[in-house]
Chain A
Amino acid sequence: MMGLDVGRLAAVARKEAREYRRTPFIIGAMAVLPLIFMINPVITIFAIGATVKAATVSRAVGATFLVLLVVPAVIPASIAAYSVVGERDQGTLEPLLTTPVRRGEILIGKALVAVVPAVGIAYILFALAVILAHFFAANPTVAATLTEGPHILAQALFAPLLALWSIGVGTAISARSSDVRVAQQLGTLASLPPLAVTALVSFQVVPLGVWTAVGFGLGLLVLDIVMWRGVMATFDRERLITGSRAVKTTRVGPGGPPAGTVRRIQAFGGADDGGGGA
């Protein structure tokens, strides 16, 4: 990850953003999916009567909370799943990899453009739910429960962490897949497991407090770090071009170490990102 060039990273991100803007499938997913996911919270908020007990309100808000967190987990997954296999499909991956761009720059550039709108949409939906609850819910404790400190903290922490997981796992699947649709389906499925963590909070198996939110956030962060290290390892130039990763023994002559010596060398897209890491 060392030695990232901001200019190259920005070039990748700008290209991704331009492509997304002109891809109806992505614009559609960004626009329609959040609306669909908003239906349940709206119904829940309006269905809670004025005299419903606080415990019931808390359970309903927990369920709403979970649905709102599905958005940052699911929306970027299919976009990320398209990111590498899509490039390979349209023949743009090889020209991209022939440039000095490093794999960290490609992955982060692509991830940024998927994570920013996904998290933005998640925050907007949460704000919308709070506004609707505040002005239109029959039960005044709904808005109060939604805006409790731990809920806001959990929303703020979980949304980007879930999005990062989805993008990472989607990219890893995309890098290994040869079919866009299979990659998108697998990517969406693989984005769901971390929601189990948030489900524990939502269904009040674990009571939500500030420290619970921070603890679960740290847990998701560790998952993200482990997964992204895996993504970096998967993103190997040779594997992306030929479908197989080079691990070889080479006898090097002019231009390398003394002729006749035999050593193991790293694939160009291997762990040494400074050299040829994609």
Chain B
Amino acid sequence: MVSHLTKRFGDRSAFEDVSFEVAHGEVFGFLGPNGAGKTTTVRTLGTLIAPTSGSAVVAGIPLSAATGAEIRQLISIMPENPGLYLRLTVQENLELFAGLYGLPSPRARIAAALETVNLAPRARDLCGRLSKGLRQRVGLARALLSDPVVMFLDEPTSGLDPVASREVHDLIAGLRERGVTVFLTTHRLEEAERLCDRVAILNTRLLAVGRPEQLRGQLFRSSLVVETAARLAAPEAVFTPDVGVEKWTPEGDAGYVLTVADPRMAAPRVTRALVAAGADVVSIAVAHHSLEDVYLQLVEADPEAET
């Protein structure tokens, strides 16, 4: 739980008055443009940086100077740059972190973490000789090592090819099933849409929090996209309130976007009206707004975006 959390560096606000809650076992997406304060928020919740004001409870422990080590024992953070010791092997990197977390049976835990990210055969390789994608996987193995209650993943698929990205997505889905709370910072909106139960959009201030479909519903009215074989002679006579259309706009040569209250009710009525008007209907579909549409709508409308 985060309540009115603010971090300032001198006169500059990294983020301001941020409040949200993340449920146990939830995959929570944290989105925002560069410089929006996402990484600083993660660092603050990860006890690396002290907030200027506000409060938070992380992994069930109130965030304070006295509880930093206790919280860090229960969470793990994977920064965008995995930050591996390049002169050490994969195994040696993980041994360090197993030691820092005081893990019992470190060898078994390391083997399990490497198995999870499909890196067991590379355990003895120097990290300096691994590709960026493989290093990212070592970073993930390190984050998994301590069996955390909350995982903060900062751009976990950055620099990964589509196959490796898919593996990371599967891994995150697996974490959700295991009841791990995942705090996912990403620029990939389709990734957030696919993986996250809820998302927050930050631009120094929190612009929105909710399920992707909930945010879509808040920002965009339901609409139908109609395409006919030829332009209608009198569309205003077809797209009327009688068939459930509140507003319509032409799109392309013979296309129309209709604002409706309930697409499932309106679609059959619009189809009948079009047929009655002698139109050949090519397609009629419910318009789908992506999370990207939501994001762009919010961020571009935000006055902070211009600063």
Interface pick from A52-60, A71-79, A91-99, A165-173: A91-99
Interface pick from A178-186, A194-202, A240-248: A240-248
A256, B55: Cβ atoms closer than 8 Å = yes
B96, A246: Cβ atoms closer than 8 Å = no
Does residue A110 face the partner (Cβ distance < 8 Å to B)? no
Which A residues between 80 and 122 are near B, CB-CB below 8 angstroms? 90-102
Complex formed: what's the CA distance from A250 to B65 in Å? Answer: 12
Interface pick from A11-19, A144-152, A211-219: A11-19
Q: Report how many residues on chain B are interfacial, defined by Cβ distance under 8 Å.
A: 54
Does residue A275 face the partner (Cβ distance < 8 Å to B)? yes
Q: A100-B100, A276-B68 are in contact. Are A18 and B83 (CB under 8 A)?
A: no
A251, B88: Cβ atoms closer than 8 Å = no
Shortest Cβ gap from A1 to chain B (Å): 14
Contact of A248 among B52, B56, B75, B95 (CB under 8 A): B52
Contact of B55 among A5, A12, A19, A255 (CB under 8 A): A255
The contact string, 1 if C-beta is below 8 Å from chain A, for chain B 52-92, is 11111100001111111110110111110111111110001
Complex formed: what's the CA distance from A167 to B102 in Å? Answer: 27
Does residue A204 face the partner (Cβ distance < 8 Å to B)? no
Complex formed: what's the CA distance from A46 to B181 in Å? Answer: 72
B67, A14: Cβ atoms closer than 8 Å = no
Does residue B99 face the partner (Cβ distance < 8 Å to A)? yes
Does residue A51 face the partner (Cβ distance < 8 Å to B)? no
Which A residues between 226 and 278 are near B, CB-CB below 8 angstroms? 237-238, 241-242, 244, 246, 248-256, 265-268, 270, 272, 274-277
A90, B83: Cβ atoms closer than 8 Å = yes
B52, A8: Cβ atoms closer than 8 Å = no
Interface pick from B43-51, B192-200, B246-254, B273-281: B43-51
Q: A238-B50, A248-B53 are in contact. Are A256 and B64 (CB under 8 A)?
A: yes
- In this complex, what residue of A is CB-closest to B57? A255
B50, A265: Cβ atoms closer than 8 Å = yes
A256, B100: Cβ atoms closer than 8 Å = no
Shortest Cβ gap from B287 to chain A (Å): 40
Does residue A10 face the partner (Cβ distance < 8 Å to B)? yes
B77, A275: Cβ atoms closer than 8 Å = no
Complex formed: what's the CA distance from A117 to B230 in Å? Answer: 86
A contact residues around B87 at 8 Å (CB):
18-19, 22-23
Interface pick from B1-9, B112-120, B168-176, B209-217: B1-9
Which B residues between 93 and 132 are near A, CB-CB below 8 angstroms? 95-102
For the complex of A and B, 7 pairs with smallest distance between CB atoms: A276-B68, A11-B99, A255-B62, A91-B83, A266-B65, A99-B100, A275-B66
